[in-house]
Structure 1
Amino acid sequence: MSAHENIGRRNGSGRRTFLKQAAAAAAVTIVPRHVLGGAAGPAPSEKLNLAGIGVGGMQGLGDVRSVSGENIYALCDVDQNHLNKAAQQFPKAKLYRDFREMLDKEHKNLHGVTVTIPDHMHATAAVWAMERGLGVYCQKPLTQTVWEARLLANAAKKYKVATQMGNQGYSHVATRIACESIWNGDIGDVTEVHSWHGGGFSRGIVKWPEAEPVPPTLDWNLWQGRAQERPYSSKIHPIHWRGFLDYGTMMIGDWGIHQYGPANWALGLGETSPTSVQCFAVEGVNPVTYPNYACKFQFPARPCPYVKSGTMPPVAVYWYEGSMTKLFKPPQGLTAEDLKSINQVFVGTKGFLGTSGRGEGVTLLPRPKDGSRLQPPEVLKRSPGHFQDWLRALRGGEPACSNFTISGPYTEWMLLGAISWRFPNEELKWDSKNLRFTNNEKANEFVRPQFRKGWELKEITV
């Protein structure tokens, strides 16, 4: 990487018992914490009481550690092994297996929660917390489905709690410099964005894995949550659920949500919504896991207060994942060498800009021969750090940079791509206001999740 680049770098009976208890408790009105304690939040010198929902896997305990300057009041995980390991580091924390039980018992003692569990349960845990007046830091992607993304954005507006999605690059100075460079006109009007990631989970699994005994420490019923009941397999938990249609979003949700950050912010994509999405290549389609695919989102012209003209022209945003990254070719004027270490390129009428990592690197392309850095006029306030940004909001400060009113619409448009591959070479027309495709009723079946009985979420309107 050249020097000029701006970088930084449980069982059935248990569930039935709980549902009976929950039904009895439903008659009790939940008074959100922000109503009891006031909107301003605790004093800066007061430690926040936080809980971690999900403390294992790839990031769970890491997220809790990232806020451990506060008081870690409670921990929750469906896997006792994960819970035990976390408890060694936070021995004073109360321990729970079911986040619903924890939130019902402890919400008056908490200020906020981190949610670091499989994608299909993000919205459920987040809504339970927000309904009880708690702030939420939720890992990316914000949700597994488009409908849930809208739900969380509405919930954040309704309950007025501090929220943040875990796309750390949004807080990185390089993402802000990318925005400022584009607004400054350094590459002219942006007409195309190309982003790609060749990784994946569960590639090659095309039928449901053979059933295995459920580990004695794991509550598989709770892990499945709202999803259809399935047999346990170590090919799913703890890591590779990301590639399964029932639970994850594959690479667009795992890394696309990071990579697209500079584009979403700089081009105001979440403030409008695409008019259509089209999958133009796909291979490996099967009924269990995500295939390899490439798709295009078409966005209309959009108002932008940061550019001289006040508007930005229509833009085509491309995504390539898995083996379909082979379809991406450097735009005319760039070479493969120019794109080394880059995972997203902006095509402008006067030049090119590349970003890397989670938006943690930015450079003009081709890279300036003199090694100079991008230094556009500073427009955006610099971040204290992604977790600190949320903690500041919890204390009554300004909203976090990727709060759910921002990350909800962002996740919403991006997850249209995770629907598009089911209808290859068909331009799916999107009506964002009504949250539906106007020219394909079958596609609308994938906008909203199917809920297992007892796990339903209701519409939230504002």
Structure 2
Amino acid sequence: MTDFSFNRRNLLGTAASAAAFSFIPRHILGGSGYNAANDKLNIAAIGIGGVGSYNLKNLESENIAALCDVDHSNAAKIFERYPKARRYKDYREMLEKEKDIDAVVIATPDHTHAVITIACMQAGKHVYCQKPLTHTVAEAREVARVAKETGVVTQMGIQGHSGEGINLVCEWIWDGAIGDVHSVDGWCSLAYYPPGQAYWCTTHYDIPDEKPPVPDGLDWDLWLGPAPYRDYHPTYHPGRWRAWYDFGCGMMGDRGVHTLDAVFLALKLKQPESVSATVSNLNDQTNPISSIVQFDFAPRGDLPAVKLNWYEGIRVPRPDELEDKRTVPPEGGLLIKGDKGTIMCGIYADSPRIIPETKMQQYKRPAKMLRRVETSHETEWVEAIKQGRKANADFEYSARLTEFVLLGNIAKRTQSKIYYDQQQMKITNNDIANNLLSKKDRTGW
């Protein structure tokens, strides 16, 4: 497990004091460049060459003050779009120099999420981190702990959590629309492998032998961060890193955390008691072409036990109650099965319907129970900062969601059935799997 003890000692100093006053306007504290509650926040972004650029678009109502990316060539267009923002390659230098930054967006590869997120929170910055929150279960626990300790406002980048679909799914289930839910099928028919999404795929099972030159503008050592050293290859960067265990969490961490969010929330799930998996091609470097993962959840109070199946790289079995002329969402979604009916929806819980349609037409929808987000997932976070409240997908929630899906990856990597003790954070029947709950960071990280 990564040793975070030095971070905890640092936290006892100025970072904790800054976090304690994170909601007080700067004109009260004194100093220049203050932001009153309704003024613009000073936003920094770390990792802007990919999805981070889309996060920034939704934050342009604020002041984009600083941008950091280890590959300045890949991020060139984003730097140009925000010419007033200071530019960095190393987030540590940015945090040291940019004292007036209020909040940070992190959209780097999965393997660097935890170390960067913890550093930003300990510097007293509010944090929006892309999904999955961390690379390992142990990191998810540590990020949640530091978030609670610092008191900063946090949000994980699962935009469906701020959509109308997840609200409807929760409200219908809580209203008893489909009765007691006993099983769920979730799926993503794509895979990080040919002939799937070419941009995401890898053609290797082993570390490549070729050693091409590092592209201009890329600091490869910074890109690797806490991961074990290996030579640069374009099969890792840009974009294809998700396929590799050392860097990404595969489709389970990408689409799984989006798609399974709705049932994790609506069914008030805790961690699974057991997880089992079958995969199409097992190797120790890359995610498989396809897999089926089964999670078994214990009863929660009055709620029954739930069996959840995740289909990856293949299409979900067609439900019997779906009419002949209708199809399941082709790219991914959910089938939430109760003893009185089934809810079908898309990847982000979008367009939920009770099937068959005759049951949907007969159902009288309940009054709204949940607060709606009128803007975007990013601006929900900004509003939470200014209002001094929690964001709707804060790290207390999203760390638990991340832990759940990462257990699925461990079952896939060991192609076994694992039994999990969430109180002890321990896989009780498989030492190899248990060791995958954490990782050892590279020296210096």
Q: Tell me what 1:251 maps to.
A: 251
Q: What residue is the counterpart of 1:278 in the other structure?
A: 276
SS at match of 1:401: coil
Distance 1:434 1:98 in 2: 35
Letter in 1 for 2:434: N
Q: Report the equivalent of 1:179.
A: 170
- 1:351 is matched with which residue? 341
Quote the Cα distance in structure 2 between the aligned partners of 1:422 and 1:239.
22
Report if aligned partners of 2:155, 2:395 keep a CA contact under 8 Å in 1.
Answer: yes
- Structure 1 vs Structure 2: percent identity of aligned residues? 37
Structure 2 distance, partners of 1:27, 1:338, is 55
How far off is 1:427 after superposition? 2.4
Q: Is the 8 A contact 1:145 1:448 kept in 2?
A: yes
Q: Any idea what the Cα deviations from partners look like across 1:282-335, whole Å, max 9, x if unmatched?
A: 1111222111211111111113xxxxxxx210101111111xx25x42344346
Give yes or no for the alignment of 1:298 onto 2:296.
Answer: yes
Q: How does 1:33-432 map to 2 (within 5 A)?
A: 34-35=18-19, 37-40=21-24, 42-57=35-50, 59-106=51-98, 108-201=99-192, 202-209=201-208, 210-269=210-269, 272-279=270-277, 281-291=278-288, 292-303=290-301, 311-322=302-313, 325=314, 328-334=316-322, 338-341=326-329, 343-368=333-358, 375-384=365-374, 385-424=376-415, 426-432=416-422
1:440 Cα deviation from its structure 2 partner: 1.0
3-state SS, counterpart of residue 357 of structure 2: coil
| Deviates further, 219-228 or 414-423 | 414-423
What amino acid is aligned across from residue 272 of structure 2 in structure 1? Answer: P
Aligned length: 416
Rate the CA distance shift 1:87–1:332 in 2: closer, same or farther, 3 A. closer
Aligned-pair CA distance for 1:37: 4.1
Give the unaligned 5+ runs of structure 2.
1-5, 26-34, 193-200
Counterpart CA distance in 2 for 1:231 and 1:51 is 29
1:374–1:416 Cα change, 3 Å: farther
Q: Residues of 2 paired with 1:203 and 1:294: CA distance?
A: 20
User: Pick from 412, 427, 433: which aligns with 2:423?
Assistant: 433
Instruction: Give the conservation status (yes or no) of the 8 Å contact 2:187–2:334.
Output: yes
After superposition, the C-alpha distances for 1:125-148 in whole angstroms (9 at most, x for unaligned) are 100000011110011111111111
Quick check: 2:46–2:69 contact (8 Å CA) kept in 1?
yes
How far did 1:214 drift? Answer: 0.5
**Aligned residues of 1:33 and 1:132 also touching (Cα < 8 A):** no
Q: Is residue 393–residue 399 contact of structure 1 (8 Å, CA) maintained in 2?
A: yes
Structure 2 length as normaliser, TM-score?
Answer: 0.88
RMSD: 2.3
Shift of 1:208: 1.4
Letter in 1 for 2:146: A
Query: Offset of 1:153 from its aligned partner?
Result: 1.1
- Secondary structure (helix, strand or coil) at the match of 1:312 reads coil
Cα-to-partner distance string for 1:34-59 (whole Å, 9 max, x where unaligned): 357453455333110010001102x1
Question: Where does structure 1 lack aligned partners over 5 or more consecutive residues?
Answer: 1-21, 304-310, 456-462
- The answer to whether the Cα contact below 8 Å between 1:75 and 1:83 also exists between their aligned partners in 2 is no
CA distance in 2, matches of 1:398, 1:293: 39
Q: CA deviation at 1:86?
A: 2.1
